[in-house]
């Protein structure tokens, strides 16, 4: 059987598939040419990340496809229900990238509370002539310890974020639409573990009492955070979004950053990917990354192996 990894796959995933008799193609075929390529190559399984769109038109015109795989959590670039109704298996890797995304959240968070996102812009331009002025400007950092981190969405990634927060002495406030409470287990370097029974908070209470808020939810039809929600938040709150674009109303966010209600934002995902609003990109109060939450070597290895295991089980 032939697998097309159109948005790439780790070497470990390729090796596992090939050792089980699959042929793996790693060409990156443009969206407009994809149907023709799949049909001419008689592709059995199509693997994508976020770049390739698998819509009804592709599904209807590629009868050889038996399986569609998404290397990651969200599957909003795949018409999942339609594919499954056509008898096509659709898989993803919800657990593989959680730790990597959680670490990126804290990379942003540590950077923002010490103004690194702004300092890294200013130092190359003014560091030689205005060193003392910049030192004074960036000398009002904040520690994370004993601050409250609001975590909206408490699936695998939200739970990994909570583990890091607890580990560095933060308080957490958690909201998830589908949970009332859950057991969170932390593992330590010496192989010991400690468990915490985590109860969900009211959404508005989380917004009102958190010093920082991070989002780990699926794609939303409507904004989860807009003007009304910003009004509930504490003065000077920090916002992190490494889930999906469209969770936060970016125009409302800009307004709240300008007023000082929001002290900073950290965005890994954007409303208009892959062409984020230039006002967002130029805002000095926003720490920016180009949707790289799962983009670590370790996560990509786990994703590749998990996809390979599922393909072998379903098609082997």
**Which residues are designated catalytic?**
244, 273, 291
For residues 91 and 301, is the Cβ–Cβ distance under 8 A?
no
Are 234 and 210 in contact by the 8 Å Cβ rule? The answer is: yes
List, as one string, the DSSP characters of 165-211.
Answer: HHHTT-EEEEE-TT-SEEEEEEE-TTS-EEEEEEEPPPHHHHHHH-S
Q: Where are the alpha helices (DSSP H) in 42-177?
A: 56-60, 80-85, 98-113, 116-126, 131-137, 156-167
Helix (H) or strand (E) run with residue 5 in it: strand 2-5
Scanning the structure block, which residue is given the tokens 């059987």?
A: 1
Across-strand partners of 288? 267
């Amino acid at each position: 059987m032939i697998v097309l990894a159109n948005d790439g796959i780790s070497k470990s995933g390729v090796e596992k598939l090939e050792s089980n008799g699959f042929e793996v193609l790693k060409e990156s075929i443009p969206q407009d040419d994809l149907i023709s390529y799949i049909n001419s190559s008689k592709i059995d399984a199509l693997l994508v990340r976020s770049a390739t769109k698998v819509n009804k038109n592709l599904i209807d015109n590629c009868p050889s496809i038996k399986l569609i795989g998404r290397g990651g959590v969200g599957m909003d670039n795949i018409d999942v229900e339609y594919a499954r109704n056509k008898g096509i298996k659709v898989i993803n890797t919800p657990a593989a990238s959680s730790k990597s995304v959680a670490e990126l959240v804290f990379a942003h968070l540590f950077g923002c509370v010490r103004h690194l996102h702004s300092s890294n812009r200013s130092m190359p331009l003014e560091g030689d002539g205005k060193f003392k002025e910049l030192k004074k400007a960036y000398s009002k950092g904040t520690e994370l310890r004993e601050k409250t981190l609001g975590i909206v969405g408490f699936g695998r990634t939200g739970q990994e974020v909570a583990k890091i927060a607890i580990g560095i002495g933060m308080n957490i406030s958690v909201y998830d639409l589908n949970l009332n409470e859950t057991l969170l287990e932390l593992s330590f370097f010496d192989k010991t573990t400690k468990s915490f029974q985590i109860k969900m908070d009211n959404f508005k209470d989380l917004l009102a009492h958190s010093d920082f808020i991070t989002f780990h939810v699926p794609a939303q039809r409507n904004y989860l955070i807009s003007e009304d929600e910003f009004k509930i938040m504490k003065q000077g709150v920090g916002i992190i979004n490494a889930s999906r674009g469209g969770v936060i109303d970016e125009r409302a966010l800009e307004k709240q950053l300008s007023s000082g209600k929001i002290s900073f934002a950290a965005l890994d995902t954007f409303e208009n990917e892959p062409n984020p609003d230039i006002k967002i990109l130029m805002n000095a109060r926003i720490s920016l990354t180009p949707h790289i939450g799962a983009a670590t070597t370790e996560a990509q290895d786990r994703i590749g192996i998990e996809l390979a295991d599922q393909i072998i089980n379903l098609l082997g």
